[in-house]
Amino acid sequence: MLKEKIDGLLDRVQKPARYMGGEMNAVLKDPNSVAIRYAFAFPDVYEVGMSHLGSRILYDIINKREDALCERVFTPWVDMADLMREENVPLFSLETRSPIRSFDMLGITLQYEMSYTNILEILDLSGIPLHSEDRTWDDPIVIAGGPCAFNPEPLHRFIDAFSIGDGEISTLETIDVVKACKAEGVSRQECLRRLSRLRGVYVPSLYEASYNEDGTLKAFEPTEEGVPRTVVKNMIADLDKAEYPESVIVPFMEIVHDRINIEVLRGCTRGCRFCQAGMIYRPVRERSMERILDLAKKLVDETGYEEITLSSLSTGDYTCLPQLAHELMERFAEKRVALSLPSLRLDSNLKQTLEETQKVRKSSLTYAMEAGTQRLRDVINKGITEENLISSVSDAFAGGWSSVKLYFMFGLPTETFEDLDGIADLANKVVRKYFETPKHIRAKGLRVNCSASCFVPKPFTPFQWEPQDTIEQFEEKQKHLCHIMHIKGVEFNWHEPQVSFLEAVFARGDRRTADALEAAWRLGCRFDGWTDQFKFDKWMEAFEQTGVNPEFYANRRREKDELLPWAFIDAGVTQQYLWREHERALQAQTTPDCRKGCQGCGLKRFEGACEGR
Amino acid sequence: MLLQFQKGDIVRHLGLLDLQRTMQRALRRSNLPVAYSKGFNPHMVMSFASALSSGIAGDAELLDVSLCGETTEEECLAAMNRVLPPALQASRVRLVDDRFPKVSASLRTARYRITLRGGETKRIVDDVPAFLAQEEIMALRKTKKNETMVNIRPMIHELTAQAGEQEDTAVLTARVSFVEQATLKPDLLMDALCTHAQAGLPRCEIRRTQLLGDVGGQPVALIDM
């Protein structure tokens, strides 16, 4: 009956393939053959969620268990969601079109703050009570993980348990606990209690927060014995021993990253001070070349994809990248499989790798410069110089590339208008370099795509104490940038400061911001990451309604001794290390890559943590 | 290689491009000796006998793929079914010489099964004989460029109706013209029929069951041409 009803809806929506399922390599299991049915949600549309590597790893890991199955769900786009409400159709899984509420567990991945309203949308469409405290065993245990789980507080009321850190092992442990609890018939409360004893698992209902008069956090404590005061993140020591999918779903519709994706390393030791991923995914761990080549072969055979990408935070840092690229090109040339390398760093030994990959296809090259002047790049510890950029684009133009992307941020700590002028200066120099390349060598049609995003201070970075620029400050800087970026051959893009402002609120929000989040969703906010859906006025109305002052979270400087809402999490890097880096930043002192000498970030406290590379 | 495959109900919303990409990836996985075009950006030499609109399922769709090595029909069928998702399984393979004219050139008619549900289904079923008795059936055919009134009667080769098991349901079987200039889409046929029966359009589930050529005035399955 539900299946037929869903079928009827598909005739009436924009992109039915989002809800269709039935793709090649989707895993179909008999629900009666397993003890735990796990629904895995990515809180955005299908084509975005299906591009996410972590979700695919966990889908594979859960389905490898004989006693569990995993099915997918995404946030239905607004047309589908409205129809579902009209026709009383509950949110369903793609594989078997079963109601999400009927699953034993619902895992939600937290990749960006602006997907938070979509989580409420998923819960509501599923008929699962929004608040953890209102749920019973008729509802799944709702678990969330991913980078945003490192400050879980804005979602504390809606999520039963957070899994912090690498998910490969933790996900299986949580399944074991829920399975045992269901078999024993213990209460839901007891199940949550047992989950809280797992490493890396945070059960918000077992903690209490109190506040000072000035609004800052006064204390944060567990409410019962046996619940850990500090939640230590999970870490996989050896990537080769970690499970990795050898077969992935091949979607019918085009998705954002429509190719084979192999994670070659996890973590980054560069120590860019704005970068949360670089801090929370430490230590650096590499997958061996043998394993990568083996995975590549299996995945090419299993998917028929025509492109492989080697992904990580900084693929250029992979020890044997040139050799790996060469091997991959050679082995798959006959099958016409192209290789693409994202996140390359200028200072990596690139030339040979680039020459290898260009044999098949030429894509555009991306340079994340982040700031316009050397002084500001020193502040953020982005170890690239102008010379690196110019010599690299010079090689690229001579090698036949003509399309270059430059990424910048503005609103960085200590930034002045001189730093903004530096952005235009760099863009100009890149253009000049192109025209200096002899005509018979360079490719036609120079395209320099320059984009500037508003800086958002994140937890567990040296800038976690820093205020974000106000929207007015951002707008003033933006105006200046638009003016100076009128350069022939350069296309300039920028991000809306309103979205970044909200990101800053929820990135460093405490428990009280949950009220504003819920109010905003009730006022109709969803898909806030989509420009055509974003309703800033509704968000401001929500803050007003709930008495939450967003500037308190986004634009306030924190003192060294302030108790931060996420301080109960041990993310590997210590608060002492972060503060030290914060001070060095303000003095524009750089810190070298820790592969060249330990900087004492705190990871050494964990046995074997810094040996897996 | 002529590959006859189904476009199952759950994937009936696939558009031509999605289906094309899916087939290309399946062919790559199959390890069959698929021929690539020459040129700067080589691609597989393949085409569908007829594009099936998004929203319509098919029982026996045809894909024409050029191969460049030795293989057998059994091998091809097994290889493709190993790599196609359940909703796109193949039922037959026929290997034909490259010098044969393109299979789409032989297409003359297509057979559809249209399942009607609810509304004034009964009234529509009862009206079929009277509808067919007309010498001329004028209907508004819309193309990307223009709208013209055309006589669709000569394009209807067969049309029968059968009441379904449940009340308010019925199954229409139609064979209609499928050549350039004279293609009758099933939704246009339904519009014309409902207009004549003075009935509202019920919920229709359309499925293309056969693609047909013509030998001496007799319809023959396209794959056998």
Considering the domain architecture, whether residues B78 and B133 belong to the same structural domain is answered as no
pLDDT of residue A516: 98
C-alpha distances out from residue B173 to A423, B68, B187, Å: 67, 39, 13
**Radius of gyration of the CA atoms of chain B, in A:** 19
CA dist A606 and A604 (Å) reads 5
Q: Do B85 and A7 touch (CB under 8 A)?
A: no
Pick from A242, A203, A146, A250: nearest CA to B18: A250
B29 touches chain A (CB under 8 A): yes
pLDDT digits (tens, 9 = 90+) for B132-165: 999 999 988 887 778 888 899 999 999 999 988 8
pLDDT of residue A363: 64
Residue A218: CB atoms within 10 Å: 12
Considering the domain architecture, whether residues B22 and B77 belong to the same structural domain is answered as yes
pLDDT digits (tens, 9 = 90+) for A338-353: 888 765 655 455 566 6
**Mind giving me the DSSP string for A347-401?**
TS--HHHHHHHTTT----EEEEEESSSHHHHHHTT----HHHHHHHHHHHHHTT-
pLDDT at A612 over 60: no
Considering the domain architecture, whether residues B130 and B150 belong to the same structural domain is answered as yes
Considering the domain architecture, whether residues B219 and B146 belong to the same structural domain is answered as yes
C-alpha distances out from residue A191 to A178, A180, B119, B159, Å: 7, 9, 51, 62
**A589 near A499, Cβ under 8 Å?**
no
pLDDT digits (tens, 9 = 90+) for A11-46: 899 999 999 999 999 999 999 999 999 999 999 999
Q: Does residue A99 sit in helix, strand or coil? A: strand
Considering the domain architecture, whether residues B11 and B89 belong to the same structural domain is answered as yes
Q: Over range A157-186, report the average pLDDT.
A: 97
Considering the domain architecture, whether residues B49 and B111 belong to the same structural domain is answered as no
Tokens of B176: 């209609």
**B165 near B121, Cβ under 8 Å?**
no
pLDDT digits (tens, 9 = 90+) for A402-443: 889 999 999 999 999 999 999 999 999 999 999 999 999 888
Q: Which residue has the higher pLDDT, A360 or B193?
A: B193
pLDDT digits (tens, 9 = 90+) for A220-273: 999 999 999 999 999 998 999 999 999 999 999 999 999 999 999 999 989 999
| Best residue in B7, B13, B17 for a mutation probing chain A (most A CBs within 10 Å) | B13
**A59 near A29, Cβ under 8 Å?**
no
User: Over pLDDT 90: what percentage of chain B?
Assistant: 67
pLDDT of residue A353: 61
Considering the domain architecture, whether residues B27 and B65 belong to the same structural domain is answered as yes
Q: Do A20 and B29 touch (CB under 8 A)?
A: no
Domain span at B183: 107-224
Considering the domain architecture, whether residues B146 and B56 belong to the same structural domain is answered as no
Residue in B with minimal Cα distance to A251: B22
Considering the domain architecture, whether residues B9 and B113 belong to the same structural domain is answered as no
Domains of chain A, CATH where assigned: 2-232 (3.40.50.280), 259-361+570-613 (3.30.750.210)
pLDDT of residue A613: 47
Q: Give the closest-approach CA distance of A297 to chain B in angstroms.
A: 12
**A82 near A8, Cβ under 8 Å?**
no
Residues, chain A, total?
613
**A244 near A54, Cβ under 8 Å?**
no
CA dist B187 and B209 (Å) reads 15
Residue in A with minimal Cα distance to B31: A301
Pick the last residue of a domain from B72, B105, B138: B105
What is the pTM (predicted TM-score) of this model? 0.93
**A612 near A286, Cβ under 8 Å?**
yes
Pick the last residue of a domain from B56, B78, B105: B105
Lowest mean pLDDT across A150-154, A384-388, A406-410: A384-388
Pick from A365, A166, A340, A353: nearest CA to A262: A340
Question: How much is the mean pLDDT over chain A?
Answer: 93
CA dist A113 and A44 (Å) reads 12
Considering the domain architecture, whether residues B88 and B197 belong to the same structural domain is answered as no
pLDDT of residue B193: 94
pLDDT digits (tens, 9 = 90+) for B52-72: 988 999 999 999 999 998 999
* Band of residue A362 on the pLDDT scale cut at 50, 70, 90: low
Query: ω before A467 within 30° of 0 (cis)?
Result: no
Q: Do A252 and B26 touch (CB under 8 A)?
A: no
Q: Give the closest-approach CA distance of A76 to chain B in angstroms.
A: 16
CA dist A287 and A402 (Å) reads 32
Considering the domain architecture, whether residues B84 and B115 belong to the same structural domain is answered as no
Considering the domain architecture, whether residues B52 and B77 belong to the same structural domain is answered as yes
Q: Do B13 and A254 touch (CB under 8 A)?
A: no
pLDDT of residue A350: 58
* Band of residue A354 on the pLDDT scale cut at 50, 70, 90: low
Q: Give the closest-approach CA distance of A120 to chain B in angstroms.
A: 28
Q: Phi, psi (5° rounding) for residue A218?
A: -95, -50
Q: Does residue B157 sit in helix, strand or coil? A: strand
Using a CB-CB cut-off of 8 Å, the residues of chain A touching B24 are 304
B52 touches chain A (CB under 8 A): no
CATH of the domain at B74: 3.30.70.580
Q: What is the CA angle A418-A581-A420, rounded to 5? A: 15
CA dist A257 and A11 (Å) reads 27
Pick the last residue of a domain from B74, B105, B136: B105
Q: Do B85 and A302 touch (CB under 8 A)?
A: no
CATH of the domain at B179: 3.30.70
Contacts of A371 (CB under 8 A, 6+ apart): A377, A379, A380, A382, A408, A409, A412, A415, A419, A422
* Band of residue A355 on the pLDDT scale cut at 50, 70, 90: low
B36 touches chain A (CB under 8 A): yes
Residue A348: CB atoms within 10 Å: 18
Give the total number of structural domains in chain B: 2
